[in-house]
């Protein structure tokens, strides 16, 4: 009877919403997190779908700032453990007879911080003899909440842009860049809870560099999104921060339509994100890096010289 009542007491934590600020008018593909996402043009909102011992809170980013804004949900951290008489939580009930072996008068108490899980059944309801101090339970390690937050990060998949855009040429530098508006930190906040309380931590992912696989056996690493080519400006007035020069044509490469005349190099751009977490009282740590990848293709031809 007692176990059944303890289950009744425990309720799953509410599903909250992660909000990641995105550039206005931009449509992003997001990866990671395992939740569903909708894009309103100004924000990417992702439901975490997490319940039980760990609940999620706010997520934010944008404009180069790791936190703040976006209409995010605030995480509240209760004071735990918090033992109250069983009859206070369940009026008219006392929790049942004392446990076997009890030799002193007392009462059943409920820890209001317990989650109702199997763990909650054993730590959330206790028999305390009259005058006996309530047991203490340490809250989770902030690193647990940090890792949980990192697992819920929603990171954009890069969109590749090339110049020349459809056909490149041997010995001519090919400009490479991705959407620069996504090049800023993104963060989410999560909380981990047990019978001893809840602790919140924020995971922050910062884009570090882009690795381009140009399809011809070469790779190019660029410490930024790259520089867009502006066709309205003279080429002599512009310079690139990320490029690759092909030394061979794409003849013999796969083609999307099966036509050998459309053979193209498959190009991928992989962003490596450094990830760290920050928790209460200055607690912090590093987490494994994350990557997101986008792909495109490029035909590369040979410019034939003309002899007069």
pLDDT, one tens digit per residue, over 101-149 is: 888 899 998 877 765 433 334 457 888 888 888 777 778 899 999 999 9
Q: Let me know whether 207 and 270 are in one domain.
A: yes
User: Considering the domain boundaries, does residue 308 fall inside one?
Assistant: no
Under the banding of pLDDT at 50, 70 and 90, the label for residue 204 is: very high
Tell whether 291 and 162 lie within a shared domain.
yes
State how far the Cα of 40 lies from the Cα of 166, in Å rounded to an integer: 31
Which domain does 43 fall in, by range? 17-78+140-301
Please indicate, yes or no, whether the overall pTM of this predicted structure exceeds 0.75.
no
Does residue 306 fall inside a structural domain? no
* Chain segment 216-234, per-residue pLDDT in tens: 999 999 999 999 999 999 9
Domain count, the chain: 2
C-alpha–C-alpha distance, residues 62 and 153, integer Å: 14
Q: Say yes or no: 191 and 224 in one domain.
A: yes
Q: Are residues 147 and 114 in the same domain?
A: no
Nearest one of 174, 268, 279 to 213, comparing CA atoms: 268
Q: Distance of CA 23 to CAs 17, 42, 63, 69, 108, Å?
A: 19, 6, 8, 13, 54
CB atoms within 10 A of CB 186: 27
């Amino acid at each position: 009877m007692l176990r059944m009542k303890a289950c009744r007491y425990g309720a799953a934590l509410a599903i909250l919403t992660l909000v990641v600020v995105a550039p206005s008018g931009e449509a992003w593909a997001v990866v990671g997190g395992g939740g569903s996402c909708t894009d309103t043009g100004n924000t990417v909102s992702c439901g975490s779908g997490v319940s039980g011992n760990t609940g999620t809170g706010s997520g934010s980013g944008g404009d180069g700032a790791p936190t703040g804004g976006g209409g995010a949900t605030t995480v509240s951290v209760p004071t735990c453990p918090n033992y109250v008489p069983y009859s206070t939580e369940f009026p008219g009930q006392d929790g049942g007879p004392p446990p076997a072996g009890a030799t002193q008068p007392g009462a059943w108490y409920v820890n209001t911080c317990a989650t109702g899980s199997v763990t909650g059944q054993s730590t959330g309801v206790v028999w305390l003899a009259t005058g006996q101090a309530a047991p203490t339970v340490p809250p989770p390690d902030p690193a647990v909440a940090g890792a949980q937050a990192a697992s819920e990060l929603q990171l954009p998949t890069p969109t590749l842009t090339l110049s020349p855009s459809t056909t490149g040429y041997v010995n001519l530098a090919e400009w490479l860049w991705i959407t620069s508006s996504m090049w800023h930190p993104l963060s989410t906040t999560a909380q981990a809870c047990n019978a001893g309380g809840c602790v919140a931590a924020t995971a922050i992912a910062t884009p570090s560099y882009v690795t381009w696989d140009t399809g011809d056996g070469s790779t190019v690493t660029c410490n930024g999104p790259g520089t867009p080519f502006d066709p309205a400006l003279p080429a002599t007035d512009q310079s690139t921060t990320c490029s690759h020069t092909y030394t061979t044509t794409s003849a013999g490469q796969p083609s999307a339509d099966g036509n050998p005349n459309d053979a193209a190099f498959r190009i991928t751009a992989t962003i490596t994100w450094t990830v760290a977490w920050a928790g209460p009282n200055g607690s912090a740590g590093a987490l494994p890096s994350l990557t997101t990848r986008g792909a495109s293709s490029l035909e590369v031809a040979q410019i034939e010289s003309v002899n007069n």
